[in-house]
Chain A
Amino acid sequence: MKRLSDERAKILFEKLSKYIGTNVKQLIDRPDGTYCFREHKDRVYYVSERILKLSECFGYKQLVCVGTCFGKFSKTNKLKFQITALNYLAPYAQYKVWVKSSFEQQFLYGNHIPKTGLGRITENAGQYQGVVVYSMNDLPLGFGVLARSTTDCKTADPLTTVCFHQSDIGEYIRTEETLF
């Protein structure tokens, strides 16, 4: 567990703000103690400082995971959020997309969302805005990036992709081996 380098911290917060905007602040300043981001084997973990301290007694190899894993830095220093970040992204998300229940299953298999599968969408979302995808009964299913702005969506062809798939909870099953 080590502190993120300035560069990586910057990348992380930029990425976070894409999904939850100014709510990043709420991740840092919490009423229930200090939470911090730490890096362990190129993965970013978000964890309470109290727990972090306790984890220090484990060796580098033996420590597997502390708190919540947000994502992984690639070798080119790009951060990719994992589905495990959804726990924190979903409650703070500013832009949301709801998929129809008929498309729910398809999204969980990793497909992009076409306009036909779109149930609802937050107003005023711009193109390439990070969004959290919900099912119609408000179950967070994953997150992605809007392919079209909200206004464009209204005029778009039914089969055009509205939202690019980035991660979905189906990955817990599909890629359990490679997830960690």
Chain B
Amino acid sequence: MGRKAEYSEKPKKGPGRKARKQGPPVFRKKSFAPMEEEDKKLSHRQKQRFVKREQKKVVQKAKLQEKRAKGAQKQPQVRRKTAYNSDSEPEEEVEAQEASSDEEVPQLVPAPINTKSAAPKGFTDDNDAWLKPKKGKKLPEPESEDEEELEEDSEDENGLEAAESAEEDEEEEAEDDDEDDEEEDSDEDTAQVGKLADLSDDEANSDDDFDISGDEDAAEAESDEDDDDDDDDDDKLPIERANKKLKKREAKDAQLAEEEMQMTVDHQDVFQLPTEEEKTEELTLQQVQQRIKDVTLVLSDFKKYRQADRSRGEYIELLRQDLCLYYSYNEFLMEKLMDMFPLTELMEYLEASEVARPLTIRTNTLKTRRRDLAAALINRGVNLDPLGKWTKVGLVVFNSTVPLGATPEYLAGHYMCQGASSLLPVMALAPQENERILDMCSAPGGKGSHIASIMKNTGTLFANDFNRDRVKAVQANFHRLGIVNAIISCEDGTKFRNIITGFDRVLLDAPCTGTGVVSKDPSVKTTKSEVDVQRCYNLQRKLLLSAIDCVDAKSKTGGFIVYSTCSVLPEENEWVIDYALKKRNVKLVDTGLNFGVNGFTNFRQHRFHPSLNLTRRYYPHTHNMDGFYVAKLQKFSNTIPLTKEQQEEDEKQLDAAIEAEAASAAESATEGEAEKETEAGDKVPRKLLGKRAGKPSLTDIEQDLKKKKLEESKTKYVAKVFEKPVKAPKQPKPEKPQEEKAALSNGNGSSKAEGKASKKRQQELQKVKKTPETDQKVPKSESPSKVSKPTVNGGASPATPERKQNLKKSATPKTPSKLVNAPHEDKVPLLEGKPIKKQNNLKKKQVGQLKKSKASGKEGKKQKFKK
């Protein structure tokens, strides 16, 4: 291949002429240090210009001396002109000066100045002599020497060389003005920075402006000072001055920017509440969002940002409306949420509620291990991770190529799709092997199966749910997950204590409004109302008392009750627990969950038991799981602190409340329907009749009618209180009144030797607010037992006219609502052979199976099945 050519040039050696190479650039340090620029060599042109400048100076000085010698008096106009001049560009001025003074060097006058001079600054006519062009408030900087000269010069022109043409004069003036314009910025700069010296200067100048005649001396002095100043300036190079100017400008800009910021912020802050007209306007979502932000800001520092004449309430009202609109909540729920959270947290909560929680699954430890399951699912193309350190069975699924609810692993029962939050109550319950455990509201069996798998299929698990359709899901899930120690029943949870007690642990995952799972079911946002919440918490109280009664306090390993809801409202959580604490021998214990927010011990005007901080709340925005509440209670005594009467009273109160709410719900449901009064007249009594007939113990009533009446008047109070929700749904009452009521009614109960049935009946009577006399008679004859049912049917028709009359007489406010209900109940009894039972049954259905009356429940069910 030969040798490799060498292309890089070698430095030549040896004798002979070498090509000249340009050396590296050398910078003189001086060039960067302008201070020592004086000795810098000037270029040819520069030299020429310098020479000319010197010449001019000489000429000017000569003129000046001449003028002084003449001792000219000042003209106001001239004086004024000097005020506008500033020193920054002496060369130009000199040139201008030259142009004005000696016409014979026209080439030195730069063209732009000439063109600029066309600007209408001066006055072209003779008025020029006394008129001055109006200027802004600009005030001059300390004048330069040149200016001084110029000033003198112009004085000269005006005062002495009157012969000079007006044109010249005008030109002069225009030039001055132009210069002024050019230097306005710098003038303003100084003005803005606002030094004291400047101010004094200004004053001096303005003084000059107004009384010029006498101030010659002062002006002179000033000019002297200026001269000194100018000397300094003269020492500096143009670039330095430019630099100085630039710095000033920057400082000014910064200041201005700051001020502007402040201004804009101030403007933003002053958020104006919309007027009535504006409120009716349609807004886009963006606008609403902006307004939400604004109001939030105002509320964050109310003192600072508020409008003086507007109250906080107005802002909050507006905010609530906007939030309702933006997140499509109803007012009721939003109000509750706003009560619960501070504003910033509220926004986080609402935002988080819009987003779906991650899909989580729970490993069924009866059939597999988490690691094996994860491996199997990853093989199927599922992307997952352990849920957290707090659980050993949870997996969180990020994405999946297969439907997770239909993989062979799922069908084989290796896992269960379950929210992260539903693992918590079971962990709190901490079931042990060989225990007897009750899951009171178990459908669809997620938590129940979790319990069973922790117990490893030992002991006994009672899984109960009231809804027969949902029980099927429990059954299917339990079989799929291979749980063999379970008894699945379909009972009313509130009656469970009558069926079986002595449980080691009870899990009550109570039915609730579901305000914590808004992301799963957005309809909650709009459908829930005060009545729903009331109905829920009354039911929850009943269930919780029942659950507590089911537990055996003497259990060696247990005696625990875990109460959980998927709601965030304190009404359904803390209030219920607080109620139970008062009614039963239970205490709150630590849930064993080491994360979560502590439960409220006080909420608005309510004060709960201090131990309620042992309960745990979970929120979507803080824990990325559904809104949830977990409380763990320990039963320390099987005795019930209340007397039997009290208990019954409680029971009745809750029953009544639920019934009343149910009735009101039914009313609202059927409100739209047309009603006929005559029909309705029949119905109300019938309903009454049906209710009474369902109760087994009405025989008591027969025996002492008079006593009843007496008691009726006394117990009225109790009944009335629980009607409240029907009449005007308000904020649920705190505990106190109920207790008082209980006490009140207890007094009655003890004094009377009557059975509960009579009381109950009275309550019902009162609820409907009938005049009792005639009504009572009717059931009295019929009620005694089921045997007499046919007679009820028979007797019903003759009795109706009477009742109608009664109803008409007692036109209480409540009757219309009852009338609305009527149509349903009327038809059914006619169709079926057993009107009374049917009525109960029907009513139950309308209510949404919220409540079964003790005796009638079973009968009703029987009929259902027959159907």
A interface residue numbers (CB < 8 A to B): 47-48, 50-51, 54-55, 57-59, 61-69, 83-84, 87, 104-105, 108, 135, 137, 139-141, 169-170, 172-173, 176-177, 179-180
Chain B nearest CB from A138 CB (Å) reads 10
B480 touches A (CB below 8 Å): yes
> Binary interface profile of B, 424-447, with partner A (CB < 8 Å = 1, else 0)?
000000000000100000000000
Q: Using Cβ atoms and an 8 Å threshold, which residues of chain A touch B411?
A: 108, 169-170, 172-173
Q: What CA separation (Å) do A173 and B460 show in the bound complex?
A: 27
Stretch from B471-479, B538-546, B565-573 at the A interface = B471-479
A141 to chain B: which residues have CB within 8 Å?
A: 408, 412
Instruction: Give the residues in chain B near A137, CB-CB below 8 Å.
Output: 376
Further 17 A-B residue pairs, CB within 8 A, beyond A58-B491, A69-B475? A51-B485, A54-B460, A54-B500, A55-B487, A57-B500, A63-B490, A64-B490, A67-B486, A83-B479, A108-B411, A135-B408, A137-B376, A141-B412, A172-B411, A172-B479, A176-B473, A179-B475
Least Cβ distance of A84 to chain B in Å?
4
For B225, the chain A residues whose CB sits under 8 A away are none
Are B479 and A61 in contact, with the CB atoms below 8 A? no
B489 at the interface (CB under 8 A from A): yes
**Chain B nearest Cβ from A159, distance in angstroms:** 24
Partner of B475, one of A47, A55, A64: A64
| Cβ–Cβ < 8 Å partners of A104 in chain B | 408
List of B residues within 8 angstroms of A57 by Cβ: 499-500
| 23 contacts across the A-B interface (CB closer than 8 A) | A51-B487, A54-B500, A58-B491, A58-B499, A62-B490, A63-B489, A64-B468, A64-B474, A64-B489, A64-B490, A65-B478, A83-B479, A108-B408, A139-B408, A140-B412, A141-B408, A141-B412, A169-B411, A172-B480, A173-B411, A176-B472, A179-B472, A179-B476
Chain B contacts with A in 466-521, Cβ cutoff 8 A: 468, 471-476, 478-480, 482, 484-491, 499-500
Residues of A within 8 A of B753 (CB): none
Partner of B460, one of A51, A61, A139, A179: A51
B34 close to A (CB within 8 Å)? no
Inter-chain contacts of A108 with B (CB < 8 A): 408, 411
Cβ contacts under 8 Å, B473 to chain A: 176
When C-beta atoms are compared, the residue in chain B nearest to A177 turns out to be B472
A58-B487 in contact (CB<8A): yes
Measured in the bound complex, the distance between the Cα atoms of B405 and A173 in whole Å is: 9
- Is the CB of B7 closer than 8 A to any CB of chain A? no
User: Is there an interface contact between A66 and B487, defined as CB atoms closer than 8 Å?
Assistant: yes
Which residues of B sit under 8 angstroms from A179, Cβ to Cβ? 472, 475-476
A-chain residues with CB within 8 Å of residue B474 when the two chains form the complex: 64
CA distance A76 to B488 in the complex (A): 28
When C-beta atoms are compared, the residue in chain B nearest to A105 turns out to be B408
- Chain B residues, CB < 8 A from A176: 472-473, 476
Which residues of chain A are within 8 angstroms of B412 by Cβ–Cβ distance?
139-141, 169
A170 proximity list for chain B (CB < 8 A): 411
CA distance A139 to B414 in the complex (A): 10
Number of interface residues of B (CB under 8 A): 35
Q: Is the CB of B484 within 8 A of A68?
A: yes
Are A67 and B484 closer than 8 Å at their CB atoms? Answer: yes
**With the chains together, A62 CA to B499 CA distance in Å?**
11
> Which residue on chain B has the smallest CB distance to residue A170?
B411
Q: How long is the Cα–Cα vector from A179 to B217 in the complex, in angstroms? A: 117
* Residues 660-696 of B at the A interface (beta carbon under 8 Å): none
Measured between C-beta atoms, what is the minimum distance from B805 to chain A in Å?
Answer: 42
The answer to whether B472 touches A180, judged by C-beta atoms less than 8 angstroms apart, is yes
Ranked nearest first, the 8 interchain pairs of A and B with the lowest CB-CB distance are A169-B411, A84-B479, A65-B488, A64-B488, A55-B487, A57-B500, A180-B475, A172-B480
Chain B residues near A83: list those with CB within 8 A. 479
Q: How far is the CA of A54 from the CA of B460 in the complex (A)?
A: 9
- For the complex, what is the distance from the CA of A29 to the CA of B436, rounded to whole Å? 24
A97 to chain B, nearest CB (A): 16
Contact A61 B861 (CB under 8 A): yes
Interface residues as binary, B849-867 with A (CB distance below 8 Å gives 1, 0 otherwise): 0000000001001100100
Task: Check if B406 is an interface residue, CB within 8 A of chain A.
Answer: yes
Which residue from B409, B468, B482 sits with its C-beta under 8 Å from A139?
Answer: B409
Whether A169 contacts B480 by the Cβ 8 Å rule is: yes
Interface centre among B491, B862, B865 (most CB of A within 10 A): B491
* Contact residue among B408, B409, B479, B487 (Cβ-Cβ distance under 8 Å from A54): B487
Among residues of A, the one whose C-beta sits closest to the C-beta of B403 is A173
User: How far is it, in angstroms, between the C-alpha of A104 and the C-alpha of B379 when the chains are bound?
Assistant: 15
Q: Which of B473, B482, B487 has the most CB of A within 10 A?
A: B487
| B476 x A172 contact (CB < 8 A) | yes
CA–CA, A135 to B473, complex, Å?
A: 26
Selected from A48, A63, A105, A139, the residue in CB contact (under 8 A) with B485 is A48
A135 to B379, CA, bound (A): 15
- B865 neighbours in A (Cβ, 8 Å): 61
The smallest beta-carbon distance between A109 and chain B, in angstroms, is 10
Distance to closest chain A CB from B364 (angstroms) = 12
Cα distance A180–B491 in the bound complex, in angstroms: 17
What's the minimum C-beta distance from B578 to chain A, rounded to whole angstroms? Answer: 32
The answer for the CA separation of A64 and B272 in the assembled complex, in Å, is 63
Q: How far is the CA of A58 from the CA of B464 in the complex (A)?
A: 11
CA gap between A135 and B490 in the complex, in Å: 36
In the complex, the answer to whether B500 meets A65 with C-beta atoms within 8 Å is: no
- With A58-B491, A141-B408, A176-B472 already in contact, the answer to whether A87 and B460 are too (CB < 8 A) is no
* Interface residues in B738-784 (C-beta closer than 8 Å to A): none
Determine if A65 and B480 form an interchain contact, defined as CB atoms under 8 angstroms apart: no
Are the CB atoms of A180 and B490 closer together than 8 Å?
no
Complex CA gap A123/B412 in Å reads: 26
**A55 neighbours in B (Cβ, 8 Å):** 487
Contact partner, A64, options B405, B460, B471, Cβ 8 Å: B471
Contact between B488 and A173 (Cβ–Cβ < 8 Å)?
no
CA distance A104 to B865 in the complex (A): 40
Which B623-675 residues have C-beta < 8 A from chain A?
A: none
Interface readout for B826-867 with A: 1 if CB under 8 Å, 0 if not?
A: 000000000000000000000000000000001001100100
Query: Does A69 contact B408, Cβ atoms closer than 8 Å?
Result: no
Query: A169 to B408, Cβ gap below 8 A?
Result: yes
A contact residues around B490 at 8 Å (CB):
61-64
Of the residues B406, B468, B478, B491, contact of A173 by C-beta under 8 Å: B406
Give Cα distance in the complex from A46 to B405, angstroms: 28
Residues of chain B lying within 8 A (CB to CB) of residue A84: 479
Which of the listed residues B376, B471, B489, B858 has the most CB atoms from chain A within 10 Å of its own CB?
Answer: B489
Q: Indicate if the CB atoms of B406 and A66 lie closer than 8 Å.
A: no
- What is the CA–CA distance of A170 and B468 in the complex, to the nearest angstrom? 23
Closest CB-CB distance, A116 to chain B, in whole Å? Answer: 19
Residue of A nearest to B405 (CB): A173
- For A173, what are the chain B residues with a Cβ–Cβ distance below 8 Å? 405-406, 411
The complex places the Cα of A90 from the Cα of B531 at a distance, in Å, of 51
Chain A min CB distance to B714 (Å) = 38
B552 to chain A, nearest CB (A): 14
Give the docked Cα–Cα distance between A87 and B537 (Å): 40
CA distance A131 to B412 in the complex (A): 17
User: What is the minimal beta-carbon distance from B388 to any residue of chain A, in angstroms?
Assistant: 28
Q: Which positions 130-171 of chain B face chain A at CB distance < 8 Å?
A: none
Please, which residue of chain A has its CB at the minimum distance from the CB of B499?
A57
- Interface contact B500-A69, CB-CB below 8 Å: no
Q: A50 near B484 (CB under 8 angstroms)? A: no
Q: Find the B residue at minimum CB distance from A58.
A: B489
Instruction: Tell me the minimal C-beta distance from A60 to chain B in angstroms.
Output: 11
> Which listed residue (B406, B475, B858) contacts A65, Cβ 8 A?
B475
Q: Given A176-B476, A180-B472, do A63 and B487 touch, yes or no (CB 8 Å)?
A: yes
Write the chain B residue with the least CB distance to A54.
B460
CB distance from A98 to the nearest CB of B (A): 13
Q: Known contacts A141-B408, A176-B473; is A69 also within 8 Å of B491 by CB? A: no
Q: Which residues of A contact B408 (CB under 8 A)?
A: 104-105, 108, 135, 139, 141, 169
Q: Cβ of A135: which chain B residues have Cβ within 8 Å of it? A: 408
Residues of B within 8 A of A180 (CB): 472, 475-476
Q: How far is the CA of A93 from the CA of B637 in the complex (A)?
A: 50
CA gap between A141 and B486 in the complex, in Å? 23
